[in-house]
Chain A
Amino acid sequence: KQEVTQIPAALSVPEGENLVLNCSFTDSAIYNLQWFRQDPGKGLTSLLLIQSSQREQTSGRLNASLDKSSGRSTLYIAASQPGDSATYLCAVFPGDDYKLSFGAGTTVTVRA
């Protein structure tokens, strides 16, 4: 069974610092990996999707890397802003199945 772990569980940084969020998964046979953002009491907003053949994806201040062989992905958020405060979830898609396996998330607070 795929296990997805996100470290740290919570993170607090001053505005302007770069954020590094880690995701690890136990079964490297994945089809893709997706990073989501969740605001309190809200649903999930997709940030980046990385195909298993890719090593990274970028969107604005966000960059996500994927190392399938070691079962790791990292989400980098450059020059953090208070509006980046949210919970960030990673999810892996196995490909031979259709069920996303989620980590428990990293809750980020960016202090003004």
Chain B
Amino acid sequence: GAGVSQTPSNKVTEKGKYVELRCDPISGHTALYWYRQSLGQGPEFLIYFQGTGAADDSGLPNDRFFAVRPEGSVSTLKIQRTERGDSAVYLCASSSMTGTALGYTFGSGTRLTVV
């Protein structure tokens, strides 16, 4: 596609529920990143994919968070047993190569609210 697409744009869920957030990167971009942005702060790194594999998941806060990218294109971030502290904007970005000089392209984000 022309840009990075994230769905849904907004998600409200009850504490303890499971959610999935989807990211559709720019066609042909091999690198995909997930970031989380809490209110009033800059985005923080969660996980990085190069192709189908998670090259670095060191930013995932705990084992309730998991992400996949089975075919090297679309990625899904999964959160189990959601907590109120998980409320944030989840941003996805893609780039054409690792260590790119071209910069990242970000999606519009998914605003997750856990009530």
Residues of chain A at the chain B interface (Cβ within 8 Å): 4, 31-32, 34, 36, 41-46, 49, 51, 89, 91, 93, 95, 98-100, 102-105
Chain B interface residues (CB < 8 Å from chain A) = 6, 31, 33, 35, 40-45, 48, 55-56, 59, 89, 91, 93, 98-99, 101-109, 111
A99 to chain B, nearest CB (A): 4
Q: Supply 4 further A-B pairs (C-beta < 8 A) apart from A46-B105, A46-B106, A100-B35.
A: A98-B48, A99-B59, A100-B45, A104-B42
B109 touches A46 (CB 8 A): no
What is the predominant secondary structure among interface residues of chain A facing chain B? strand
Residues of A within 8 A of B40 (CB): 104
Neighbouring B residues of A104 by C-beta, 8 Å: 40-42
Measured CB to CB, the closest approach of chain A to B69, in angstroms, equals 15
CA distance A46 to B41 in the complex (A): 17
Q: Are A43 and B31 in contact (CB under 8 A)?
A: no
